[in-house]
Structure 1
Amino acid sequence: MEGKYETLMILQESPTSGVFNLILNRPSVSNAMSLDFFSEFPKALDALDHNPNVAIIVLSGAGNHFCGGLDLKTVASIANNSSGDHGRTGERLRRQLKFMQDAITAIERCRKPVIAAIHGECRGLGVDMVTACDIRYCSKDAFFSVKEVDMGITADLGTLQRLPGIVGFGNAMELSLTARRVSGEEAKELGLVSRVFGSREELKEGVGAIAEGIGGKPPLAVVGTKAVMIRSRDLTVEQGLDYVATWNSSMLLSDDLTQTISAYKHKRKPTYAKL
């Protein structure tokens, strides 16, 4: 346990496992998030990132849904927080939005991979979160919606920036303008998720096995792969190759490499130092 939170829960199901579950924990409101979430979420991710026992993080939701979006009370409080000065109101709102954006971007800043395990509803803020995750899986009952346009809002916490790189520009534009409901199966066809599991129980079991598999791999290679993939997203191929060459020139000759080669030669399971 990494601390107590109002909107989140951290769970390690086995004391010997490097898989930690970060759970959105407001099930009574479909995990719709209050302002507290934006303070707690990056703190929880940072704590997990710096915990050497954590190899990989699974992000999921308590109750019947993954995330119903931003709590409407939060939306109302942000909208009503205005003064007579339009300029100062706008400047304050911009700071608030940047603060909220930073909480979602914390997923990408986290060195450890973050897998989204999505069931039930995933709309608005939920889509912002999962598009920032490294891998996404869902259960058959999951559905997605970039809902902001129906609420009179331009989605502003990352979906419009990240979704095109996942499903393609045209698909992202269509989903964002229509705000339509996308089933788990269609999400798989679009590339939004990598696999659809038959039930929530199968999702939990399947993602758990995948996470354990990744968590057992050489830690420096895992965090390096995430870092290079995210950095290369905004670079040319030549720039990306230069970046990974620089990365590996400092990280490649590690005990992880020595351990991997030794384990292969002696036909045993490798043992890696925690990161």
Structure 2
Amino acid sequence: MSDYKAFRVELADKVAHVTINRPEKVNAMNADFWSEIIEIFRWVDATDEVRVVVLSGAGKHFSSGIDLMLLAQVGSQLGKDVGRNAETLRRKILELQGSFNAVDQCRKPVLAAIQGYCLGGAIDLIAACDMRYSTVDAQFSIKEIDIGMAADVGTLQRLPRIIGDGMMRELAYTGRTIDGEEARRIGLVNRTFGDASALLDGVMEIAWEIAAKSPIAVRGTKEMIRYMRDHRVDDGLEYVATWNAAMLQSADLRVAMAAHMSKQKPEFAD
């Protein structure tokens, strides 16, 4: 692990805890954030010792979204030619999308622990995670509509599969803020906790439970779920049959079955 400007990264008990670490700026997503998150998730993917990721924000808030200074910097690069401006903006948007694609495409499960503000670009980020958990008083909002733009880094593409099309449209069109309890009711978060400390403890417990499972089985399960977003049921059945034709030969299967029969806790290799 390297030293990061926008993040703090710790690894313990097979769980990587990735913390957005700009609390004095409400964890706004600056230029360092967008480049470093790709580096971090490449490291996660390449490090067998990491089995699960917990993503959180330092201080009182998860994240207030994209840093407005970054938007100003992009604006300063624009000139008088509409075509060249469009090309510059398109490249920048695709670059930012790539940062959250790195989270979505990570081979390991990513659990978001959310307290305080989760606004704008932060919704794009948590939509790329496997599961989301929050405090009861967390505040969620698709804020882009209030600054005169459409969300463009994944919210409108990923959120309908999480909370349904109609609810996503309501939140995206109105920009209204919902709290943790409403987020739980609509399925945006799996569970709520009383405060930030209980939240992190609870999410870590879930992460450790997943980390104790066969990493081969977890990897296959995540890949099948991700594959099914864009394919028919029969395509998914064909894919899992081919996948498991190889993966069922893993030693993890024998270890898991022996542990189950002997009522022991299995220990899996990285």
Amino acid at match of 2:61: H
Query: Which residue is 2:55 aligned to?
Result: 59
Structure 2, unaligned stretches of length 5 or more? none
Query: Which residue is 1:115 aligned to?
Result: 111
> For 1:107, what is the secondary structure of its paired residue?
helix
> For 2:9, what is the secondary structure of its paired residue?
strand
State yes or no: 1:159 paired with 2:155.
yes
Does the CA-based 8 Å contact 2:137-2:181 persist in structure 1? no
Amino acid at match of 2:7: L
TM-score normalised per structure 2: 0.98
Does the CA-based 8 Å contact 2:7-2:20 persist in structure 1? yes
Query: Which residue is 1:222 aligned to?
Result: 218
Q: Distance in 2 between matches of 1:74 and 1:81?
A: 11
Q: Flag as ranges the 4+ runs of structure 1 deviating above 3 A.
A: none
Query: Which residue is 1:23 aligned to?
Result: 19
Amino acid at match of 2:181: E
> For 2:54, what is the secondary structure of its paired residue?
strand
Which residue, out of 259, 264, 271, partners 2:267? 271
Which residue, out of 172, 179, 185, partners 1:176? 172
State yes or no: 1:69 paired with 2:65.
yes
Q: Distance in 1 between matches of 2:151 and 2:164?
A: 17
Cα distance, 1:85 vs structure 2: 2.1
Give CA deviations for 1:82-118 in whole Å, capped at 9, x if unaligned: 1232211211211111010010011121101000000
Q: Let me know the Cα RMSD of the aligned residues.
A: 0.9
Query: Which residue is 2:251 aligned to?
Result: 255
Q: Distance in 2 between matches of 1:81 and 1:247?
A: 47
Which residue, out of 179, 204, 207, partners 1:208? 204
Query: Which residue is 2:7 aligned to?
Result: 8
> For 1:138, what is the secondary structure of its paired residue?
strand
Q: Distance in 2 between matches of 1:247 and 1:96?
A: 36
Which residue, out of 91, 97, 100, partners 1:95? 91
Amino acid at match of 2:205: A
Query: Which residue is 1:244 aligned to?
Result: 240
Give CA deviations for 1:21-59 in whole Å, capped at 9, x if unaligned: 000011001101112211110110111221121110000
TM-score normalised per structure 1: 0.96
Q: Distance in 1 between matches of 2:149 and 2:33?
A: 20
Which residue, out of 128, 134, 143, partners 2:130? 134
Q: 1:141-152 to 2 correspondence within 5 Å? A: 141-152=137-148
Q: Distance in 2 between matches of 1:95 and 1:155?
A: 16
When the two structures are aligned, how many residues end up with a matched partner? 270
Identity of aligned residues (%): 44
Q: Distance in 1 between matches of 2:260 and 2:167?
A: 44
Q: Distance in 1 between matches of 2:33 and 2:135?
A: 24
Cα distance, 1:245 vs structure 2: 1.2
Does the CA-based 8 Å contact 2:118-2:138 persist in structure 1? yes
Cα distance, 1:266 vs structure 2: 2.5
